[in-house]
Amino acid sequence: MVKSNSYGLGLGQAMPVLLEAGAREFFIARWNEIVGILRHVAPDRVGVLHGPRSPEHAAYARAAGVRPVINSLEQARYWLDAGGGSCHLMVDTGINRLGIAMAQIGEPLLARLEIDLLMSHLASADEDVALNAVQRARFGEACAAIPAKRRSLANSAGIALGSDYAFDLTRPGVALYGGVPRPELAGIIRQVAFPQAAIIQVRQLVAGDIVGYNAQFTAPGPMRVGVVSLGYADGFMRSWGARGALQFGAARLPLLGKVSMDMVVVDLAAAPEAGEGDWLDVPYYLPDAAPASGLSQYELLTVLGSRFARQPAP
């Protein structure tokens, strides 16, 4: 899964790494993502998850050579009316998002499709719930009813459910970018995103000085603090609040006051050597950052703003 600019980390940075690692099939969500991914791979290796929502989309998919994911009988008609060709088909087995209904798997129209990949999506693979087995069984019914070259059910968390969920192709998303959706994957998946921001001013506070909007922090005594070029416009949301901290080497620098649009303030007591122009690390090991920020692992990645320069790791 490389939709949403590779979950916010940068398609141009992620694609070469994924290709080198052996990834061969790629999925985007929307039609305006096609141009970017075709800089890296041949069109027949690209699936468009939202499918052709109009005859124009179907014509564009045929012209570009990508495979649309058919999600409804209406989309199937658009595709066939445009001339058809190889496509993917999504079956809704219980998440009630995109996909044809289980009651439609015997529709004659579907037999006219040239289906490369028959797909479904797990709703709660990150939990140990009965719904996982229910969806697995329903997908088995769909596989028996609908001819296709290949089949795919497991997302990142679904991969950890075992081989019964693997089928011919798995579709990892958040796990590619450092997310750990199930405990079985802890210790296997490493951190991928390492955001940094610079100290732009060092200030000396005295007892009674306040920091930031609404005076949420008051200095109890003399303090050396750093103003950092990082804020909610960069995806560092206010929910980090007083629970969050940045890092300077091994030193933890607690946030002081509210997160602003473009700035945060940190306590520099643990890093007396840190000064203006120094870069601080944003702790972004996703399983830890999620409870610290109140955001999901997915949100932590996709909210990262455009002002971050995406660079490959050294």
3-state secondary structure 157-179: HHHCCCHHHCCCCCCCCHHHHCC
- Give catalytic status of residue 213 as yes or no: yes
Provide mean pLDDT across the span 116-134: 98
Provide mean pLDDT across the span 105-118: 97
Q: What is the pLDDT of residues 75-111, one digit of tens each?
A: 999 999 999 999 999 999 999 999 999 999 999 999 9
DSSP designation for 61: H
Is pLDDT of 54 > 90? yes
DSSP designation for 257: S
Counting Cα atoms < 13 Å in the Cβ hemisphere of 288 gives 9
- Of residues 7, 60, 78, 213, which has the active-site annotation? 213
Q: Where in the chain is the domain with CATH 3.20.20.10?
A: 3-185
Is pLDDT of 48 > 90? yes
Kindly report whether the global pTM for this prediction surpasses the value 0.85. Answer: yes
DSSP string, 179-200: ---SGGGTTTSPP----EEEEE
**What share of the chain in percent tops pLDDT 70?**
100
Q: Where in the chain is the domain with CATH 2.40.37.10?
A: 196-283
The Cα–Cα gap between 168 and 52 comes to 24
Residue 74: predicted pLDDT: 98
In terms of Cα–Cα distance, which of 68, 65, 61 is closest to 43?
65
- Asked whether the beta carbons of 275 and 285 are under 8 A apart, the reply is no
- Asked whether the beta carbons of 240 and 292 are under 8 A apart, the reply is yes
Is pLDDT of 189 > 80? yes
Per-residue confidence band for 151, with pLDDT thresholds at 50, 70 and 90: very high
Residue 241: predicted pLDDT: 83
- 3-185, CATH topology level: TIM Barrel (3.20.20)
Is pLDDT of 313 > 90? no
The CA distances from residue 94 to 10, 102, 164, 231, in Å, are 31, 9, 18, 38
Is pLDDT of 63 > 90? yes
Helix 73-81 with 55-64: angle, nearest 10 deg: 60
Q: What is the pLDDT of residues 218-268, one digit of tens each?
A: 999 999 999 999 999 999 999 998 779 999 999 999 999 999 999 999 999
* SS3 of residue 44 by DSSP: helix
- Of residues 3, 78, 177, 232, which has the active-site annotation? 3
The Cα–Cα gap between 68 and 50 comes to 8
CATH 3.40.50.970 fits domain 196-283: no
Residue 243: predicted pLDDT: 79
Is pLDDT of 154 > 80? yes
Q: Provide the mean pLDDT of the chain.
A: 96
Provide mean pLDDT across the span 287-311: 95
In terms of Cα–Cα distance, which of 298, 36, 305 is closest to 176?
298
Is pLDDT of 314 > 80? no
